[in-house]
Amino acid sequence: MSDLKDPRVLFAAERTLLAWNRTSLSFIAFGFLIERAGLLLHVLAPERAAGMNVRLGFWIGVLFILLGAFAAVWSSRQFRALLRTLSPAEFPAGYGFRWGLAVNMFVAFLGLLLVGALFIGRG
């Protein structure tokens, strides 16, 4: 348990959570870009895009999206663990510290939803 009685500890942890949120979003966006680039290559130059390249691009993209969803969930878990160590004096009155958790979990949910949509779109 923290004995600092300083709300800056909470704010530093929240900044770290939001940095992980941006990282998660970047992984998800990059994965989607990789997945769609394979399809674009297949449409623009079908003779040059072998079926293996499109499948490989799909799986690499899906793995990046899943990595982003995992990073969002894991960073939320870490933030919750830290919140349990803080004393009541380290929480500013009326401050909504759970919003970052909610946003991170929503990003993870949307990442998983995107993976599902990509699989449905393939079939």
Write down the domain spans for the chain. Answer: 22-87+96-121
- Position 38 scores a pLDDT of 76
**Other beta carbons less than 10 A from residue 35's beta carbon:** 24
- Position 3 scores a pLDDT of 64
C-alpha torsion sign, points 58, 63, 61, 107: positive
pTM: 0.86
As a whole number of angstroms, the distance between CA 24 and CA 36 comes to 18
**What residues of the chain score a pLDDT lower than 70?**
1-4, 48-52, 123
- Position 1 scores a pLDDT of 54
**Other beta carbons less than 10 A from residue 111's beta carbon:** 26
As a whole number of angstroms, the distance between CA 46 and CA 28 comes to 26
